[in-house]
Amino acid sequence: MRTETFALLVKDHKVVEGIIDELLETRASDKKRRQDLLNTLKKELQLHEGIEESIVYPPLEAKKSTHDLTLEAYQEHHVVDVLLEELDALDFKDEDWKAKLTVLQENLEHHVKEEEDGLFPQAEKVLSSEQLKHIEQRIAEAKSS
């Protein structure tokens, strides 16, 4: 039976997806809306990545069967961060802005799929139920603070 250890992180994935969808629907002329949504996106991703990198990834990096997936996940976070910085530096009216946002979306979709279909299910196999419960509690605490 699958645990709910990663339910809050999966929920975050859906929130981020929704923000990006909203951003893609904005017009270049709606600078305030784009800036507000981009700021929200950056805040959501920063918290989410911080939780994954401090709570979820370390015990998985230590396991042989999830080591490589975890290293890849760290790198995917790095790519997302670089794209966010580049988006933030671009003028909203620059024709490359929406293209870069689409690349960010595609990278995040790939990352989410790997986590939800690969890393999280693997974690539930390689970590003990006590470890999973501890991770779930720490995620909830981090999300509520």
Report yes or no on whether pTM surpasses 0.95: no
What pLDDT does 1 receive? 34
pLDDT digit string, tens, across residues 96-130: 999 999 999 999 999 999 999 999 999 999 999 99
Q: Would you say residue 92 has pLDDT above 60?
A: yes
Reply yes or no on whether the pLDDT at 19 is more than 70.
Answer: yes
Residue 75 has pLDDT above 70, yes or no: yes
Give the span between the Cα atoms of 23 and 107, in whole angstroms. 16
Per-residue pLDDT at 70: 97
Band of the pLDDT at 66, cuts 50, 70, 90?
very high
What confidence tens digit (pLDDT) does each residue in 3-13 have?
589 999 999 99
Kindly indicate the confidence band of residue 88, based on its pLDDT and cuts at 50, 70 and 90.
very high
pLDDT surpassing 80 at residue 2: no
What are the structure tokens assigned to 52, written together? 């994954």
In degrees, rounded to 5, the angle at the alpha carbon of residue 88 between the alpha carbons of residues 93 and 71 is 135
The answer to whether residues 6 and 112 touch, using CB atoms and an 8 Å cutoff, is no
Joined tokens for residue 44: 């959501």
Which CATH number does 7-144 carry? 1.20.120.520
